[in-house]
Amino acid sequence: MRSSPSSGVPMASTMGIMTAISRLHMRGRRGSLLTCPHKFDTCLQSIGTDVAAEVQAPGKDEAEAKNGRKSLHTVHKEGQEQADRSVLISCQGRTTDKKFLKYLSRHGDVQKYFYYESFGTYAVVEFASQESVASLLEEAAVPSFVHEAVLPFKSRLLSLKSLSVSDLQSPQSRQRSQTQTSMPINELVQRLSREETIDRQMTALTEACQLTEENVRLRFLVCSLLKDIANVFFSECAIRPFGSSVNGFGKLGCDLDMFLDLNGINGHNAKTPKSGFSLEYQMKQSSSERLVTQSILSVIGTCVDQFVPGCVGVQKILKARCPLVGFTHQPSGLQCDLTTNNGVAMKSTELLYLYGELDPRVRCLVFTVRSWARTLNITSSIPGAWISNFSLTIMVLFFLQRRSPPIIPTLDQLRDLAGPGDECTVEGHDCTFVSDWSKIPPQSNTETLEQLLGEFFDFYATFSFSTMSINIRKGKEQHKPETSPLYIQNPFETSLNVSKNVNVTLLQRFVTLCQESSWLLQQSKTNGPIGGTKGSSPAPWGLASLLLPSQVARMKARKKRRSETTGARVKSLIESLNSKNQPNKSSS
């Protein structure tokens, strides 16, 4: 991203040293394959630059302290700093917390640690300083195998080996492992059915599905581990998470979208002196930005495939509109997509994050609609004609802008509130919007979550999809510029439709499900919660009943039966009337 003012997240200082050390190791063993493009002192120089960048942002931090909310810039900064001081350890043996911590703290203070399960038990350990990480890595041994050779790339993914049986104990003496996957739907339905109101159900669903603090830390750590390999080529790069991992709408199990940010290199323009000598880097040129993006991702993709432990199933999808490298990071269980030169998506992430923070109802409604759409197969993790989660989120935001009074401002209003420091153009697109949230006037809408959910279904059950488009920049439907069944204007690349892939059949299904769910919600509201008898679970009601695909099918069948019964009744009534009106043959 070239001109985002908020993207300068500092690279922590000693990480540069560690990276340099790891590069030196690589050079020693396999110099010809992966040569270090920069000298050790170049790395140290880049550390100085990053510390300076860190000092530049106090104004924003002060504003945040005042309103008590973190900007996405701060979330990124903190997340990356923590991740750069962390290691990921596979704990095959059952170690006790006490012994494990004692062993780790020989290298320095442990700030935080937690365990999680993903094809085995892993521990994320965050030290108070990067020196501790360097010291721990210094002690780690390189494995040797009898019939196989190791690829000499040292990462911060380690395996804990236990030499004595006394170190292995029962898991009870260890902190509980965190779950990193979302709750199975049946369990979620049961949990929601126990709630007394639909509002409570929507809040409970959000709490059950959203990313945990630990899961977000793990995502930042995966980015940091990948940065170590990208740094081999691009010493000033950063890898940042974007999309639902950080926009506030991420569900446990969602993919990890990553952005390789080379702004540190591209934006480096030393002041040219008025007289005397000056130096310029000699650099290769390419005929287009797209080709540069493709070759960078191709090289990084190969490195991830060949050298980074735990990364499997690497696929280079370089011909896509937004080229990417996809892979699975096995130790975290995360499906990862790495892109570069994708600044607009970073700004969309920032915008969604801002909307989610403006009013708590935004996130609850988005989580509810996303979960509803997922169980009813309107969205899918497989590419196809589905409505994407991103499109669905924009549909919810648009609906909230259309309430009276509106719950969230339009993007144009957010742009009008922007200060001079917020000016931002990415790849020729105006991505300016306000960063000081205190300038956004409070809204006076008092609708409940239950009302909003019902109104959302009604709104889209009757929306003129055939002629109108959804536009969160204006906050008003606009005439469609082309004939795609569903037209959702891309908030920043305004000539693009984010839902171009959606076909008529899927859109019709969405509309029908909105109608049916609105009806079902009305019924549930009238009936209220149906308490379970002792020992049995309460019957699904309210939102819980919307999350059961069978419930919708059952409702359809009931409707059909009812219309059949009504039809039959009308038929027999007409027949009886006809027979009454017939002159009595016998009497004639």
Residue 435 binds which entry of ligand GTP, Mg ion, none, with Cβ cut-offs from 5 to 8 Å by kind?
A: none
> Which of 255, 430, 458, 493 is close enough to bind Mg ion by CB under 5 A?
255
**DSSP per residue, 476-495:** S-EE-SS--SS-BB-SSSTT
Q: Contact at 8 Å (CB) between 471 and 399?
A: no
Amino acid at 202: M
Pick between residue 136 and residue 256 the one whose CB is nearest to Mg ion: 256
Q: Measure the CA–CA gap between 458 and 517, rounded to whole angstroms.
A: 9
Question: Could you say whether residue 206 binds ligand GTP (CB under 6 A)?
Answer: no
> Which of 234, 390, 399, 463 is close enough to bind ligand GTP by CB under 6 A?
390
> Which of 79, 108, 243, 343 is close enough to bind Mg ion by CB under 5 A?
243
Dihedral over Cα of 301, 303, 309, 313: its sign = positive
Q: Measure the CA–CA gap between 511 and 529, rounded to whole angstroms.
A: 27
Size of the site for ligand GTP (CB under 6 A): 18
Question: Could you say whether residue 493 binds ligand GTP (CB under 6 A)?
Answer: yes
Q: Measure the CA–CA gap between 267 and 289, rounded to whole angstroms.
A: 15
| Residue appearing with tokens 């769910």 | 517
> Which of 132, 203, 206, 349 is close enough to bind ligand GTP by CB under 6 A?
349
Tokens of 302: 């190969």
Q: Measure the CA–CA gap between 257 and 324, rounded to whole angstroms.
A: 10
Pick the stretch among 86-94, 117-125, 134-142, 253-261 that binds ligand GTP (CB under 6 A): 253-261
Q: Measure the CA–CA gap between 329 and 103, rounded to whole angstroms.
A: 27
Residue 345 binds which entry of Mg ion, ligand GTP, none, with Cβ cut-offs from 5 to 8 Å by kind?
A: ligand GTP
Pick between residue 96 and residue 244 the one whose CB is nearest to Mg ion: 244
Pick between residue 95 and residue 389 the one whose CB is nearest to Mg ion: 389
Residue 344 binds which entry of Mg ion, ligand GTP, none, with Cβ cut-offs from 5 to 8 Å by kind?
A: ligand GTP
Residue 388 binds which entry of ligand GTP, Mg ion, none, with Cβ cut-offs from 5 to 8 Å by kind?
A: ligand GTP
> Which of 72, 88, 237, 254 is close enough to bind ligand GTP by CB under 6 A?
254
Q: If 0-12 CB within 10 Å is exposed, 13-18 middle and 19+ buried, where does residue 438 land?
A: exposed
Dihedral over Cα of 564, 565, 571, 575: its sign = positive
User: In the chain, what is the straight-line distance between the N-terminal and C-terminal CA atoms, in Å?
Assistant: 94
Question: Could you say whether residue 250 binds Mg ion (CB under 5 A)?
Answer: no
Residue among 446, 407, 359, 400 nearest 69 (CA): 359
Tokens of 583: 């002159």
> Which of 22, 96, 182, 244 is close enough to bind Mg ion by CB under 5 A?
244
Question: Could you say whether residue 257 binds ligand GTP (CB under 6 A)?
Answer: yes
CB atoms within 10 A of CB 253: 15
Pick the stretch among 138-146, 194-202, 385-393, 410-418 that binds ligand GTP (CB under 6 A): 385-393
Q: Measure the CA–CA gap between 5 and 12, rounded to whole angstroms.
A: 19
Question: Could you say whether residue 344 binds ligand GTP (CB under 6 A)?
Answer: yes
Residue 389 binds which entry of ligand GTP, Mg ion, none, with Cβ cut-offs from 5 to 8 Å by kind?
A: ligand GTP
Question: Could you say whether residue 350 binds ligand GTP (CB under 6 A)?
Answer: no
Pick the stretch among 22-30, 66-74, 141-149, 246-254 that binds ligand GTP (CB under 6 A): 246-254
Pick the stretch among 80-88, 383-391, 399-407, 542-550 that binds ligand GTP (CB under 6 A): 383-391
**DSSP per residue, 50-68:** HHHHHHT-HHHHHHHHHHT
Question: Could you say whether residue 389 binds ligand GTP (CB under 6 A)?
Answer: yes
Cβ 2 to ligand GTP shortest distance, Å: 16
Encoded one letter per residue, x for contact with ligand GTP by CB under 6 A and - for no contact, window 498-517 reads: x-------------------
| Residue appearing with tokens 């309107």 | 378
Which ranges of 249-315 would DSSP assign to H, the alpha helix?
263-266, 289-307
Pick between residue 255 and residue 422 the one whose CB is nearest to Mg ion: 255
Q: Residue-wise over 302-326: b if at least 16 C-beta within 10 A, else e? A: ebbbebbbbbeebebebeeeebbbb
Question: Considering just the CA atoms, what is the radius of gyration of the chain in Å?
Answer: 28
Residue 90 binds which entry of ligand GTP, Mg ion, none, with Cβ cut-offs from 5 to 8 Å by kind?
A: none
Pick the stretch among 163-171, 252-260, 314-322, 348-356 that binds Mg ion (CB under 5 A): 252-260
Q: Measure the CA–CA gap between 306 and 312, rounded to whole angstroms.
A: 9
Cβ 242 to ligand GTP shortest distance, Å: 6
> Which of 6, 82, 121, 490 is close enough to bind ligand GTP by CB under 6 A?
490
Amino acid at 412: D
Q: Measure the CA–CA gap between 5 and 263, rounded to whole angstroms.
A: 11
Pick the stretch among 34-42, 236-244, 277-285, 523-531 that binds Mg ion (CB under 5 A): 236-244
Cβ 211 to ligand GTP shortest distance, Å: 10
Residue 157 binds which entry of ligand GTP, Mg ion, none, with Cβ cut-offs from 5 to 8 Å by kind?
A: none
Q: For Mg ion, which residue has the nearest CB?
A: 243
> Which of 84, 257, 450, 516 is close enough to bind Mg ion by CB under 5 A?
257
> Which of 54, 255, 305, 412 is close enough to bind ligand GTP by CB under 6 A?
255
Pick between residue 50 and residue 257 the one whose CB is nearest to Mg ion: 257
Residue 89, classed as helix, strand or coil, is strand
Pick the stretch among 100-108, 248-256, 263-271, 355-363 that binds ligand GTP (CB under 6 A): 248-256
Q: Measure the CA–CA gap between 316 and 301, rounded to whole angstroms.
A: 7
> Which of 348, 371, 432, 471 is close enough to bind ligand GTP by CB under 6 A?
348
Q: Measure the CA–CA gap between 531 and 524, rounded to whole angstroms.
A: 13
Pick the stretch among 23-31, 46-54, 256-264, 289-297 that binds Mg ion (CB under 5 A): 256-264
Q: Measure the CA–CA gap between 431 and 319, rounded to whole angstroms.
A: 25
Q: Contact at 8 Å (CB) between 338 and 329?
A: no
Q: Measure the CA–CA gap between 159 and 157, rounded to whole angstroms.
A: 7
Positions in the binding site for Mg ion (CB under 5 A): 243-244, 255, 257
Positions in the binding site for ligand GTP (CB under 6 A): 242-244, 247, 250, 254-255, 257, 344-345, 348-349, 388-390, 490, 493, 498
